[in-house]
Amino acid sequence: MDENALIRDTRNAEQAQRILENEAFLSVVEQIKDRIWKKLPGAPVETLPVLQMELNVLNDIVSLLRYSVQTGKLSQVQLNRLHDRERAA
pLDDT tens-digit readout, 29-77: 999 999 999 988 888 999 999 999 999 999 999 999 999 999 999 999 9
Print the SS3 string covering the chain. CCHHHHHHHHHHHHHHHHHHHCHHHHHHHHHHHHHHHHHCCCCCHHHHHHHHHHHHHHHHHHHHHHHHHHHHHHHHHHHHHHHHHHHHC
Please name the residues in contact with 12: beta carbons below 8 A apart, sequence gap of 6 or more. Answer: 68, 71, 72
**pLDDT score, position 43:** 87
Is the model's pLDDT at 1 over the cut of 80?
no
pLDDT, mean of residues 13-17: 98
**pLDDT score, position 14:** 97
Say how many domains are in the chain: 1
**Structural domain of residue 83, as residue ranges?**
3-88
**pLDDT score, position 89:** 81
